[in-house]
Structure 1
Amino acid sequence: MIPYVQSFEAIESVTAVDPLTVKVRLKRPFAAFLTTMAMFPASIVSPTAVKKYEGEFWKHPVGTGPFQFDSWNVNQQLTLLSFDDHWRGRPEIDGVIFLPVGESAVRVKQLLRGEIDIADNLPPAEIDSLAKNPHVIVQEKAGMNTGYLTMNNDKAPLDDQRIREAIWCAIDRDQLIKSAYSGHATKAVTLVPPTLWGSHTDLTDREYDPEKAKQLLAAAAADGVPTPIRLQLFVMTDPRPYMQQPRQTAIFIKDSLAKVGIETEIVTNENSQHFRRMTRGEHQLGLAGWTADMPDPDNFLYTLLDLDNINDVGGNNMSRYRNQKVHDLLAQAKVEMNQETRAELYRAAQEQIFADAPLVPLVHTSVRNVQSDAVSGYLLHPSSLNRLRLSKLAK
């Protein structure tokens, strides 16, 4: 992943000062280093196990968490056991079993039958229905995420800013939130969620305005943009925290664009293939999103919109947006150690990004989960990570 790759590249040396202290010297300033190293992928692991298993370490993980790896039947079941000697003390529960179940309806039935204790990533309507059950607890808090419509700026007619702005104005995001998120989201204007410092909350949005969209399309057509405009819209099969009903969202966008004269073909791929194809730039339009790896605007703006991150092997700038001013602002923010100055740089970058409209920010979703009333102490995390150390299960 981009953030900790940057951190590793910035490291000049690592020295053990004592058994509990490590000294890290960087080659260059990197303002987000500490927050990056606080990410879960940067957790300390056993050097003995790494040497023993080498490339197979991922099958035999040994770390410093409150649970220890027990067994993993890929795509069927992952089992963790509580670690008796954890430095914070043994967790209250004996262990955790993760069961990947693709169908949300099946997960709901498993929860109601008492076969599972927690279900996540359920459609909003399912959660609203379960909330009426006295034996079910629904948790909700504002998340650190963004769902957006990416537009491939390398492909005509999306290389024309007027077309991109027209698409923005054609989508009623307030209505999208009602229909695809059951109201449990807020309208996005920038990629940086308002729960994160550095979000430019004072940007004046492009409001839903189909007539303006038609005018922009007509102006582009008068300058030679071929009409009618026909676009492909890539959509993933399975929900994500920021895209809880991808198929419904895609149909909503398709219908919205049809009203202003843009024809859209929906192309569906399973999730990994969906993002792989968009990374390679095969799409014109595509549903995408991001959940914070770390609480820093760099994780959204640089990762998703910097020209450094355009490539065919994992670059997350799927809009293929290139703006030297934005790149310079983001580069300066990387080495600026004063947070308020950094915030000003990020606000300036967001203003330029908004003006260029390389993508359409759609929503910032609430993080929600459903659990049995036998579970207590489970703290919902705004990044959608599972934190189960303090959880208890009534017997």
Structure 2
Amino acid sequence: MTGSKSNARRKFGVKPGVLCAVALPALLALASASASAKTLVYCSEGSPENFAPSVNTTGTSFDATEQIYDNLVKFERGGTKVMPSLAERWTISKDGTEYTFFLRKGVKWHSTKTFKPSRDFNADDFIFSIERQWKESDPYFKVTSSNHSYFNDMGMPKLLKSVDKVDDYTVKITLNQAEAPFLSNLAMQYAGIQSKEYAIAMVKAGSPEKLDQEPIGTGPFMLVQYQKDALIRYKAFPQYWAGKAKIDDLIFAITPDASVRWAKLQKGECHVMPYPNPADMPAIRKDPNVVVLEQPGLNVGYLAYNTTKKPFDDVRVRKAINMAINKQAIVDAVYLGTGMAAKNPIPPTQWSYNNAVKDDPFDPAAAKKLLAAAGLPDGFTTDLWAMPVQRPYNPNAKRIAELMQADLAKIGVKAEIKSFEWGEYRKRMQAGEHQMGMLGWTGDNGDPDNFLNTLLGCSSAKTNGSNVAKFCFKPFEDLISKAKVESNQAERSKLYEKAQVIFKEQAPWFTIAHAVQIKPVRKEVIDFKLSPFARHTFYGVDIKE
């Protein structure tokens, strides 16, 4: 999940007259006018790309859609345990290749001004939501985007043998082989369930994109208004199958600047804020009206080398860059106590973390020797891409790029810092336009496969997927592929530990840091829980009136 995740897709735009936009102050005044309504304001860091769970890969978009859609299964709030959701229960065959899900009955859909559902959720909706990502013949395969990055990066097209409707409330999924993380994968956002009836109606109306722009789901909150770069307004869905949310109105006040988010939190203009500036933390901790929630983050920030482009197709060059950058100085200067230096592509909180792996030392003299051995005694010129936004795993990519640039200059490597608008940045990196570029990842399902396969596996290197290093190395691939189908966790762990050794030897990334997840929350907020996946879930949260 998270953070860096995205792919090439059309920009989300609201048609005039479709969703009425209101200025935030007016909206807040409107909310406070109703004495009985409980309103929670979340200072979101950015706009969603759209409201299509199947094509999004950024935490910003996941937060926006999580309120609207349900999955067959879900993670427990604040944890990684898989729980029933739209599936009440399920069975798994002894060989691990057949999953039968028994669906919840009486689950209602949201509605819009132009569409009222005629039936409850059933098996057709789940099958539609999978097939729009899987089958190119599906009318919705190319709507919003044909790049179903998560579905593809996890190898779902090869894994799925069939998805069959047994009856209206029973679905059977048959896999070509057993896969250990499969159930957890179904709890991830890409598997959010959309209405097939709504999809068909929008195709007939000649506006299929409305499915992803004016969404309806079965989730705890309905979308009321969206104004790009300003706000998202939701209302609690009174017919939610698990019971109406404790808050009545949920507002995402889109506030890209971290210091502005903090100012709004101080004034009570928002109740929860993500990704504070490390420099603001001493003041935040002193505020008597704010509680700081924190836990080790399931994330990694990194600099990816495009291993298909010269000179980064030579492992000696990649190793030289690794040794030329002073990692600890970056962590000290930029994370300011909110991160720890990373040596592996998975965080220490992830099971199978290999602590025996040694990080590349900071050794500019050795780096120069390696460059000379690679035929580059005078260094070379490269680009160095830096995200334009703050992310859970990287508080200031531009500053990190400047520190890297200065270190590289000392070994004769001239790095030109480049950046683009966030959506464009991700699209271009996934297309492999960069030589070196910063990104990162927040885990989505508590499984090492979500890092090692999704970010470094061959299938996601070949598509416009999340493997932006374009790293495809058979000894590494063999280990992670074997681990995926192994049911014994101890054996899986051994395979992933070996894969981390190969990762360090091949150096497709310069691993930067693992950030601590920090969430300042106003004291009037009741029972907000940190998600290990850095998601922001507001069902179950209450607020003191």
Please, what TM-score do these two structures have when normalized by structure 2? 0.67
Which ranges of structure 1 fall in alignment gaps of 5 or more residues?
A: none
Kept in 1: contact 2:222–2:234 (CA 8 A): yes
Q: CA deviation at 1:237?
A: 0.9
Deviates more, 1:107-116 or 1:39-48: 39-48
Deviations 1:190-237 (A, max 9, x none): 1111222222222122222233223323333xxx32623222101121
For residue 360 of structure 1, report the CA deviation from its aligned partner.
Answer: 1.0
Q: 2:373 aligns with which of 219, 224, 227?
A: 219
**Aligned 8 A contact 2:371 2:377 in 1:** no
Q: Deviations over 1:259-299 (max 9, x none)?
A: 33322211121212222222222211111111112222221
Query: SS of the residue aligned with 1:162?
Result: helix
User: How do 1:365-376 and structure 2 match up within 5 A?
Assistant: 365-376=515-526
Alignment of 1:83-232 (within 5 A): 83-220=237-374, 224-225=375-376, 227-232=378-383
CA contact 2:163–2:171 (8 Å) conserved in 1: no
Letter in 2 for 1:387: T
The root-mean-square deviation of aligned C-alpha atoms, in Å, is 2.1
2:165 to 15, 26, 50: 15
The question of 1:24 aligning with 2:173 is answered yes
The equivalent residue for 1:40 is 189
The answer to whether the Cα contact below 8 Å between 1:169 and 1:208 also exists between their aligned partners in 2 is yes
Q: Using the TM superposition, give the Cα deviation of residue 98 of structure 1 relative to its aligned residue in structure 2, in angstroms.
A: 0.8
- Report SS of the residue matched to 1:120: coil
Mapping 1:219-368, distance limit 5 Å: 219-220=373-374, 224-225=375-376, 227-311=378-462, 314-368=464-518
1:64 maps to 2:218: yes
Deviations 1:88-142 (A, max 9, x none): 3322211211121222232222222222112212321123332221112221111
Q: 2:443 corresponds to which letter in structure 1?
A: A
Alignment: residue pair count: 390
- Counterparts of 1:45 and 1:339, CA distance in 2: 33
Change (3 A) 1:155 1:4: closer
* AA in 2 matched with 1:362: I
For 2:322 and 2:430, locate their aligned partners in 1 and report how far apart those are by CA, in whole Å.
Answer: 22
Find the aligned partners of 1:129 and 1:218 in 2 and give their Cα distance.
48
* Residue aligned with 1:93, SS: coil
**Shift in Å, 1:162:** 1.9
Aligned-pair identity in percent equals 33
Q: Is the 8 A contact 2:388 2:419 kept in 1?
A: yes
- List 4+ stretches of structure 1 deviating above 6 A: none
Structure 2 letter corresponding to 1:392: D
One-letter identity of the residue aligned with 1:374: E
Distance 1:305 1:67, change over 3 A: same
How far the C-alpha of 1:379 sits from its partner, in A, is: 0.6
Q: 1:155 aligns to what SS in structure 2?
A: coil
Amino acid at match of 1:13: V
Q: Is contact 1:17–1:23 with CA below 8 Å preserved after alignment?
A: no
User: Per-residue displacement from partner, 1:356-390 (whole Å, max 9, x unpaired)?
Assistant: 11111111111112222221211111211001122
Structure 1 residues 129 and 218, CA gap change in structure 2 (3 angstroms): farther
- Tell me, which stretches of 5 or more residues in structure 2 are unaligned? 1-147
Higher helix share: 1
Provide the C-alpha distance between the structure 1 equivalents of 2:377 and 2:311, rounded to a whole number of angstroms: 8
